[in-house]
Structure 1
Amino acid sequence: MFTSAQLPNSTLLMIVGSDQPDQVRRVGTRIRLGGSTDLNKLLPPDVHPHRLHVTPQSLRQARRPELDGYDFLLNMVTEPEGNDRVLDNMRKLLRGIRGKVINRPDAVARSTRDRVARLLAGIDGLLVPKAIRLNGAKPDVAVRAIGNAGLSLPIILRRTGTHGGEILGCLDSLDAIRDALTAGDHIATEFCDFQSADGLYRKYRIFFIGDQLVFRHLLISDGWNIHAKDRRRFMLPRPDLLAEEEAMFSRADGAFPDPVHRVLDAVRERMPLDYFGMDFGIDPAGRLVLFEANATMNFFPFLPDPEFAYVRRCLEPAQQAFRALVGMETGR
């Protein structure tokens, strides 16, 4: 770990780390962390914040880092799954610190898929699929837990800590779920259909950065498990779909109807994080369907294809919001 005394003066400290050694890599003088946000790329290129690397063994060191000199302490450990020790060590290191801690470690720890589902349930206009945690080592107990929790089939089954559409399947029987379970923890989530009237599926992504909302993109596909690859595969040959997404950028927070913005405002009120992203669909009844909301969600990269140049309109408002969040002059 570095202490503030070992580095030049700075008002911003970025805190990185992971319980898993294979998630942390040194590239030259920089630390690359898997399972973390990439919003730090919104900082000006000439700004190089101090970095503190927290490990599961950090508190065993005789000398603690000197953190009181920082005005803003930016937690970049955004994946709650598998980072219990690092987040707990960070919480202890930050106890009593005078500076503003952005995305406090205890708030990140409460942002697992199952806990967020419980947190956001009941918001008017938001359909939150039930989600529970399962122990794959006990498949019979896991299957009973699904029934006891009242989850409806089909069920999306995934390992904890996975993103980017990495699932074990969308399964329509308890026997199939039992067979798909592997060692370790899993998340079982109800599948809620969000197919549009034209037969396509739409996934919206928005970022909450401080008190600002920034629309990131709309992905449209012919299948429900929508990902970035569908932008070129499915959207690129369809000028009408490109025009539909481009129209969403007429407002920095997305050209949604007012009821959608009211739902997003309610999500902002309930979530304990200072910055996070949210993926969602909109069902034929006009309800938002929550896919996930967490701070690990990626903002970058942007595709170089000129047909998608309009997506970069989200960059400036995101830069302004993030720089304001960490106490920088937004004009930089």
Structure 2
Amino acid sequence: MSGTASAADASLLFIIGGGDQGDQIMQAGSKIMVAGTTDLTKLLLDREPHHRLHVTRNYFRQSRQADLSGYRVLVNLITEPEQNAKVLENLRKVLRGVPGRVVNPPEAVLRSTRDQVARLLAGIPDLIVPKAVRLHGGKTSIAARTLENAGLGPPIILRQAGTHTGKIVGLFTTVDETVAALGPGEHVATQFVDFAGVNGLYRKFRVYFIGRRIVLRHMIISDQWNVHVKDRVRFMAERPELVAEERVLFESDEPFAPDVRAVFQAVRDRMPLDFFGMDFGITTNGKVVLFEANATMSFFPLTPNHDPQFEYLKRCLAPAHNALRELLGLSPQVTRFTQVHLQSA
């Protein structure tokens, strides 16, 4: 669908994108979901007046471009830098000279790859930042030297660049195994840091930074180090004591120790993004182990299979909703809703 609209009836613009390899769009009714785009705006319940702009790799080949001069706040929802580098560069050009405030500007998103974030956050007291380097598939000798020069030894987690949701190539115990597993394209090698608790279980925490506010999203407990949301059903659901452990965090006025909160503050101060999530573990001696920090990680869904024992997870909705409205400069009251698509290739 294509078309144009002015900002006369909405001062808020949401920007979505298609992806460097072409649009990856799924449409369900009136909702459009685009790969590499955050779901955080679901917190607004689709009631806030806004327009939407779709930027693709071919955006400048279109006969007309949107006039963005009248928007007070422009929210970039394109969050994955590896798969959207060209689109984000297009967006950077689109936003050049636009007077409105840009939330999560494309320049900041482009600096949020795993290896760049590892360098950015290294040195924060009480934060263990595993070394992370980029490796190129098909160049095993160069990859081995890159690992050696970075001082990154086994065990090593290997991922294809731009992948998420716990997807990895593998965890390898030697450098030779690591470089032999390289496929085509770019990869990220990350030092594995064991974060198992005293009972041998692994706890993966997620907090969401929205403006200056920090919202606890979950603590998933697993018997495997590569903790993923599926472990909530596979492992936690049948263990009431683990469910209770997470529920206590959500019911606490302050779920984290002062040293951990100090780490959050330091991360917030260094990260250039206006909103982003952070996945991490906590060692038995209270150190925070960084897994990743970026704006791509999902906020929804909350409760798996509508399981009532996880209803406490909904406690994050109100603080996250309020934090997002505050970040976007929106009033507490929502009075009406409209949605206009400015352009879509």
Shorter-chain-normalised TM-score: which range? over 0.9
Q: How far does the alpha carbon of each residue in 1:31-83 deviate from its partner, in whole angstroms, 9 at most, with x for none?
A: 32012211010013323521111111222345331001111101010000021
**5 Å matches for 1:162-181?**
162-181=163-182
**5 Å matches for 1:303-318?**
303=303, 304-318=306-320
**5 Å matches for 1:14-93?**
14-17=14-17, 18-93=19-94
Q: Kindly provide the amino acid, as one letter, of the partner of residue 265 in structure 2.
A: D
Partner of 1:324: 326
Contact 1:82/1:161 (<8 A) preserved: yes
% same residue: 53
Q: How far does the alpha carbon of each residue in 1:286-322 deviate from its partner, in whole angstroms, 9 at most, with x for none?
A: 1100000000010000221001001110011111111
Q: How far does the alpha carbon of each residue in 1:239-275 deviate from its partner, in whole angstroms, 9 at most, with x for none?
A: 21111101111346x5101110010000000000000
Higher mean displacement: 60-69 or 291-300:
60-69
Q: How far does the alpha carbon of each residue in 1:196-238 deviate from its partner, in whole angstroms, 9 at most, with x for none?
A: 1111111000000011100001011111110111112211122
Question: Aligned-residue CA RMSD in angstroms?
Answer: 1.6
- Using structure 1 for the length normalisation, give the TM-score: 0.95
Higher mean displacement: 23-32 or 161-170:
23-32
Q: Kindly provide the amino acid, as one letter, of the partner of residue 322 in structure 2.
A: Q
Q: Higher relative CO (CA 8 A, sep ≥ 6), structure 1 or 2?
A: 2
Q: Kindly provide the amino acid, as one letter, of the partner of residue 92 in structure 1.
A: K
Partner of 2:342: none
Partner of 1:133: 134
- 5+ residue gaps in structure 2? 335-345
- 5+ residue gaps in structure 1? none
**5 Å matches for 1:110-129?**
110-129=111-130
Q: How many residues align?
A: 330
Q: What SS is found at the alignment partner of 1:85?
A: helix
Q: What SS is found at the alignment partner of 1:4?
A: coil
Superposed displacement of residue 146, structure 1: 0.7
Partner of 1:103: 104
Contact 1:123/1:266 (<8 A) preserved: yes
Q: What SS is found at the alignment partner of 2:251?
A: coil
Contact 1:2/1:53 (<8 A) preserved: no
Partner of 1:290: 290
Superposed displacement of residue 2, structure 1: 4.6
Q: What SS is found at the alignment partner of 1:176?
A: helix
For 1:271 and 1:251, the matched residues in 2 are separated by 26
For 1:97 and 1:35, the matched residues in 2 are separated by 24
Superposed displacement of residue 181, structure 1: 0.6
For 1:39 and 1:247, the matched residues in 2 are separated by 25
- Using structure 2 for the length normalisation, give the TM-score: 0.92
Contact 1:128/1:289 (<8 A) preserved: yes
Q: Kindly provide the amino acid, as one letter, of the partner of residue 292 in structure 1.
A: E
Q: What SS is found at the alignment partner of 1:21?
A: coil
Q: What SS is found at the alignment partner of 1:245?
A: helix
For 1:65 and 1:10, the matched residues in 2 are separated by 14
